[in-house]
Amino acid sequence: MLPVTAFPQSPKPGVHRLEKQAQEALDKGDLAHALEKFQQASAVCPTSAALHLAIAELLSRSKQYPEAINSYHQALRLDPSNEPAAIGLARAYREVFNYDEARRLLRTASSRHPKSGASLLELGKLDIHLRQYDAAIAELQNAVRRQPSLIEAHVDLGIAYQAKGDAREALNHFNQALRLNANSASAHYFRGVLYSDSDDNQNAYEDARKAYDLDGSAEPSRVLLAKVATRLGKCTEAVEILKPLTGSPDAETENIFLLARAYQCAKQPELAKRTQEEFERRSKLDETARTQKMDADHLAARAGELARANQLAPAVDLLQQALAKDPDNGPSHALLAKINFSRGDIAQSRGDIEAALRSNPFNPEYLYVLGKVLKEQGDRTEALAVFQKTVLIDPRESDAYYEIAQVYAQNGQHQRAMDALQTAIKLSPNDPDYRKALTQLEAQKK
């Protein structure tokens, strides 16, 4: 994340005081109060890109991604060459699964800042996430050429090479990262994973211990340390590390398995037996849930085919079967919402699409359907807000721009309606409805 404390302060009277209050709130971990103060400062000084960037960063940290995207865009409108804002915007798009927009932004930022490796580093992280390791390696190598001391790029190169099975090259980059910063927790952790995978448990333990000492809150480091400690017979240490990770109902099943092994290693057979039984119980539940979800997704896909063929009754039957298996299945709820909307049951459609959004609150397709429902119910204000959120998440959603234009036209805001329609036409130039609507609006304006 971008450090909010790094943003420059505005010289405008009163803004400095608000920024100071925001920083004090941040120091206490009160993100909501810090955001409020930065927003007040931005109201006093609306042309400050730094303040919009601070707001965007706090919104991202609070997982309010559409709102963050809007604030990042405001920062970039004021300062188009601001690389941290472009990177922050790309990260926000990645969080809402719009990888194409994230990639476009990062490539543009990389071209605008040919001496900086930061955008290329973020591109590499994106491609590692998407398991496109060759592309990630090319981007990260370019980042290192631009900035040889970019530690994260070396760590990520190590991750990419390890994923490709090149342990030697991975180790070279982890070692290079640690030569640049011996206290890089991530470099110690990933080098420890590499050693662990090759059964070099002593070196794995030393790296895992260092990573844990540097950042004890990082669960992966704790798990790695416990795993190799058990292999080395440091059983009590492994138990103490794992116990805090296994007490909650949503604990990772794998951690429960590791704790059972650690208890067995520590010669505590009763605890080992009980923990192993809990692991087996959780494993069965996890496997059942995975199977049910896969079955539900398959049924939803088949229902979609039937709905497209206008066989709505059998489609609904399949969707009900899907929801019996997985009550939170987003695709099933969304398709039911569309079918009920087409049948005129708007209230039921709203309940369905709201259920779909609970499973994926940033899905632009789901948001678009909610906007249509709200518009049909006469709530133009909320419909407009939802359509605007839709195009923030997916700027290429031309139908949402068309709906925005319709709402603006109904509100008598003809220029805004025409602007929205022109955007829709730019995105989908062959759609006759968009051009027809624009022609009608132009005639009304005359």
351-367 as b/e: b if 16+ CB within 10 A: ebbebbbebbebbbbbb
Q: According to the model, what pLDDT value does residue 1 have?
A: 44
Segments in 28-82 forming alpha helices (H): 31-44, 49-61, 65-78
Please check whether residue 120 lies inside any domain of the structure: no
CATH of the domain at 76: 1.25.40.10
pLDDT in tens, 19-69: 999 999 999 999 999 999 999 999 999 999 999 999 999 999 999 999 999
Please check whether residue 436 lies inside any domain of the structure: no
Q: Is the pLDDT of residue 218 over 60?
A: yes
Name which of 193, 186, 229 is nearest 211 in CA terms: 186
Terminal-residue alpha carbon distance, the chain:
50
Q: What angle do CA 153, 158, 163 make, to 5 degrees?
A: 125
Q: Which residue has the tokens 């990062």?
A: 106
Q: Is the pLDDT of residue 10 over 70?
A: no
Q: According to the model, what pLDDT value does residue 445 have?
A: 74
Structurally, the chain folds into a number of domains equal to: 1
Which residues have CB under 8 Å from 239's CB, separation 6+?
A: 259, 262, 263, 266, 268
Please check whether residue 383 lies inside any domain of the structure: no
Please check whether residue 346 lies inside any domain of the structure: no
Q: Is the pLDDT of residue 9 over 60?
A: no
Report pTM: 0.90
Please check whether residue 434 lies inside any domain of the structure: no
Cα-atom radius of gyration of the chain, to the nearest Å? 26
- Per the document, the length of the chain is 446
CA–CA gap between residue 144 and residue 118 (Å, rounded):
10
Alpha carbon 442 to its chain's center: 40
pLDDT in tens, 305-323: 999 999 999 999 999 999 9
Q: According to the model, what pLDDT value does residue 2 have?
A: 45
Q: Is the pLDDT of residue 11 over 60?
A: no
Average pLDDT, the chain: 95
Residue type, 99: Y
Please check whether residue 53 lies inside any domain of the structure: yes
Q: According to the model, what pLDDT value does residue 68 have?
A: 98
Domain region containing 63: 1-96
Please check whether residue 75 lies inside any domain of the structure: yes
Residue type, 251: A
Please check whether residue 87 lies inside any domain of the structure: yes
Which residues have CB under 8 Å from 365's CB, separation 6+?
A: 334
pLDDT in tens, 237-277: 999 999 999 988 889 999 999 999 999 999 999 999 999 99
